[in-house]
Amino acid sequence: GQDVRALLPYLGPFEKAIRSAIASGAPYASDLLARGYMVLCVEMPCFGARADISESAEAKARLWRGATLFGRMLAEQVSALDWLTARPDVDATRVAALGISMGGTLAWWMAAIDPRIRAVVSLCCFADMECLIANRAHDGHGQYMTVPGLLAHASTGRVAGLAAPRPQLHCVGLADWST
């Protein structure tokens, strides 16, 4: 078969609404399909069908054990990327990541840690955590995002910058408290 581009969308907590829009024939879904994209979406722990434990409880349990929920999420995304890029019908040199909210955060982190992500689009998620903490606006973000000690070494912008020079598009609202 013909090699196709692949897109890893990380939909975050809005996954049910976005999946419903896709199922109802949302224009962007047919546009992606018409352009030959293969799409893989991995449901994250504590959300959707995997919401057998709350995000807060899982994040706290992992922190007590010296791990993070975000680390688990990223590990699952890397495994999904391994599976996707091993498929014979996927051109592994043309994989992009797209996400909204929590999914957007996962998308730019994946681009930062894995060069197989050749381009990234994040929507409603690119937050400077140091700035949010200084303005006491950080508590609105989910506990999944906790990366102990990160800010002693790098800003979230520096982490996203690790994906350079690969293309990145980060879309945030100027009046959005969470960015």
pLDDT tens digit at each of 179 positions of the chain: 445 455 555 444 444 545 555 555 554 556 666 777 777 778 889 988 888 999 999 999 999 999 999 999 999 999 999 998 998 888 889 888 888 888 889 999 999 999 999 999 888 888 888 988 998 888 878 888 889 999 999 999 999 999 999 999 998 877 776 66
Paired tokens of 43? 């449901």
| pLDDT value of position 1 | 43
| The amino acid at 151 | L
pLDDT at residue 4, rounded to an integer: 47
**Cβ contacts of 173 within 8 Å, gap of 6 or more:** 124, 179
pLDDT at 126: 85
Please state the separation of Cα 26 from the chain's center in Å.
Answer: 21
Q: If we measure between CA atoms, which residue out of 122, 79, 82 comes closest to residue 98? A: 122
For 44, which DSSP code? P
What pLDDT score does 157 carry?
Answer: 92
Verdict on whether the full-model pTM lies above 0.85: no
Residue 2: the pLDDT is 47
* Spatial distance between the Cα atoms of 6 and 146, rounded to a whole number of angstroms: 29
**What pLDDT was estimated at residue 65?**
96
